[in-house]
A and B are shown apart, each in its own frame.
Chain A
Amino acid sequence: MSVARDQFNTMFGRDPYSIPLDEYDMNQPELFQSDTQDAYFTRLRKEAPVHYCKDSEHGPYWSVTRYKDIMEVESNPEIYSSEPSIALADPEPDFDISMFIAMDEPKHGDQRKTVQDIVAPSSLASLEPVIRERIAGILDTLPVNETFNWVDKVSIELTGQMLATLFDFPFEQRRKLTYWSDVATAIPEPGGLVETREQGRDILLNECLPAFVELWNQRVNEPPKGDLISMLAHGKETRDMNPMEFMGNLVLLIVGGNDTTRNSLSGGVKFLNENPDQYAKLMADPSLIPTMVPEIIRYQTPLTLMRRTATQDTVLGGQNIKKGDKVAIWFLSGNRDEEVIDRPNEFIIDRARPRQHLSFGFGIHRCMGNRLAEMQLRVTWEEILKRFEKVELVGKPERAYSVLVRGFTEMPVQLRPKAK
C-alpha cells in the first residue's frame, strides 16, 4: 500500500460504532478486500443514509446507501449527471477517455443505440450455442479431485473467450483483453499490476489502442458484421469518434463485460459452498438456475458503486446537496437494504423477485449487458451441473484490492465428478 493511501486507510479493523459518523469514508479498498464493509454500511443506512464525507482521497463526496434513495438518483439523470466521471476520482486532464457510461443525453443515448444490437435478444440467441460450446470446452479440460484456482482457470478464461467472441478479436491473444481490463481498473500501488497512473495510461494508449485501431481499419473496409468493432466502425453516431472516444468505448465494453461477469462466476461457487442447503436445493432442482443467477449477481454486486455529480442544488433524503457535489450511489449497500429486500444478508436461490436488485443499476444507464451476463452465468451453471456433483471450495478465497470492483483473485477448488 502506498504512503499516499495510508493516510486515508482510517476505517479498516475498527468497530463501526466507535467511529464518529462524520469521520466515515467508505472509499477505502482495505474494507472491501477484507469483506468487512457491510457493518459500516448497515450503520450508515440506519443513521445517516445520505452521508457527507468531508474529505477523502478523492475529495468530499456524498454516500447514498438506501435502495430507495439510490433509485431516486438513478431516475433523475438531469439532476445527477454521469459526467465527468462515474468513478470518484476525476478524469485526468491528459487522459480524458470518454465513454457513454459517463455521458449525459443526448450523446449517451446516441452512442448506446449504436452498440446495443450486440445484446439484442436475437443476438443473444445466436451467441448462446457458441458460448455453451466454449464453456463445455473449458469444463472438460479441468482436473478433477485436484486443487486449482477457479478464478484463473474458469472465470477469467471464460470471460476472456467471451470478449474475444464479442469483438472478434484474435482468439489466441484473448488474454490481452483480460490484461487491459485489469489495467484499466487497477489501483496503482508498488508491486501491483500497475505502479503509477501514468504506467496504466501508457499501457492502454500504447498497446491496447493501436491493437484496436488496426482491427478498426480492417473492419471499416469490410462490409458491416455483427462484432462490436465493426458496429462501432460503421455506426452513424460512432464512426467519426476521435481516438479517445474510441478508446473509451472499448474500455467500457471490455471492463463492463469482463470482471463483472468473471467475479459473479467466482462468487457463485463461494456462495453455494457457504450455503450447503442452497447447493442441495440446486442439485435437486436444476430448473432453479434462472432464479439463482440474478441472486448470485445481487449477492456479489460486482460493481459496488457509481458516482454522479449534482447539476443543481437539490435535496435527497433530507440532505442539502450542492451543485457540483460528488454523489456515490452504493449498490452494494442498497442490495442489503432490509426495507426493500427480504432477508437481504442471506443467499437464497429461489427468491420470488430475484431481479429486484441494484447490481445492474437502473434508469437510462442500466447495464446494457445485463441479459448477456445472465445468459453466460446460466449456461455455465447448466454445464457445471451436467458434469460435477460439487465444485468444492477447499481454501480461503482472496479478494481484490479495490473499492469499485468487488471481486476475487484466488478461489481454490476441487471438482467432484458426477457418478456415471
Chain B
Amino acid sequence: MTKITFVKHDDEEIVVDAENGTSVMNAAVDNLVPGIDADCGGECACATCHVYIDEAWFPKVGNTNDAEEAIMSLNPDRQETSRLCCQIPVTDEMEGLKVRLPEFQF
C-alpha cells in the first residue's frame, strides 16, 4: 500500500491507501475521491481523470504519453504539471505523492 494525497480545489486533503500495480485513478475511484469520474475506465480516452501533480513530484511520476498529450491539449485549463491520472501507475516510489484536483472537474 502506498499513501497518496488528493488536494481538493478548496484545499481540503484526502489521503488514501493505494494498491501497487493499479493506477492513481483507481485509487481515487476506489476511495470515492470527488471530481475523478474516469468515464472511460482508464483507457486514456475521456480526460475526466485530470489532475495537477505537485511540482516537486512531477518529474518522478513518469512521462506523459502521446495519447494523453493529444486529449489533454484540448483543455484550455491544462497546466504544465497536468496529467491524466489513469496513466500513472502506483509503485512504492509514489509514497507521499500529492496531486491537486482541478476545479473544472467539479
State the A residues within 8 Å of B (CB): 71, 74-75, 77, 105, 109, 112-113, 116-117, 120-122, 353, 355-356, 362-364, 366
C-alpha spacing A362/B48, complex, angstroms: 11
Q: Does B16 contact A (CB under 8 A)?
A: no
What 4 new A-B contacts, CB under 8 Å, besides A116-B74, A122-B104, A355-B39? A74-B45, A117-B76, A356-B39, A366-B47
Inter-chain contacts of A105 with B (CB < 8 A): 70
Contact, CB under 8 Å: B45 / A362: yes
Given contacts A363-B45, A366-B45, contact A75 B67 (CB under 8 A): yes
CA distance A74 to B37 in the complex (A): 19
- Please judge, given known A-B contacts A75-B67, A355-B37, whether A362 and B43 are in contact too, CB under 8 Å: yes
Say yes or no: A113 contacts B39, CB within 8 Å: no
Q: Which 5 A-B pairs have the closest CB atoms?
A: A362-B45, A355-B39, A363-B45, A109-B74, A121-B104
**A365 CB to nearest chain B CB (Å):** 10
Closest chain-A Cβ to B71's Cβ sits at a distance in Å of: 6
Q: Is B73 an interface residue (CB 8 A)?
A: yes
Specify which of A109, A121, A353, A355 is in contact with B73 (CB 8 Å cutoff): A109
In contact, B73 and A75 (Cβ under 8 angstroms): no
Question: Assuming the A-B contacts A113-B74, A356-B39, are A362 and B46 also in contact, with contact meaning beta carbons closer than 8 angstroms in the complex?
Answer: yes
Asked if A364 and B106 sit within 8 Å, CB to CB, the answer is no
B residues 66-106 near A (Cβ < 8 Å) are 67, 70-71, 73-74, 76, 103-106
A353–B46 Cα distance when bound, in Å, is 14
- Decide: B106 and A121 in contact? CB cutoff 8 A: yes
Residue of A at shortest CB range from B102? A121
Contact residue among B37, B71, B76, B105 (Cβ-Cβ distance under 8 Å from A364): B71
* B41 at interface by CB-CB < 8 Å: yes
Q: Are A75 and B41 in contact, CB atoms less than 8 angstroms apart?
A: no
Indicate which residue in A75, A116, A117, A353 contacts B43 across the interface (CB closer than 8 Å): A75
State whether B44 touches A75 (Cβ < 8 A): yes
Give A117's nearest chain B residue, CB to CB: B76
Bound complex: CA of A113 vs CA of B73, how far in Å? Answer: 9
Q: Which residues of B contact A117 (CB under 8 A)?
A: 76
The closest CB in chain A to the CB of B103 belongs to A121
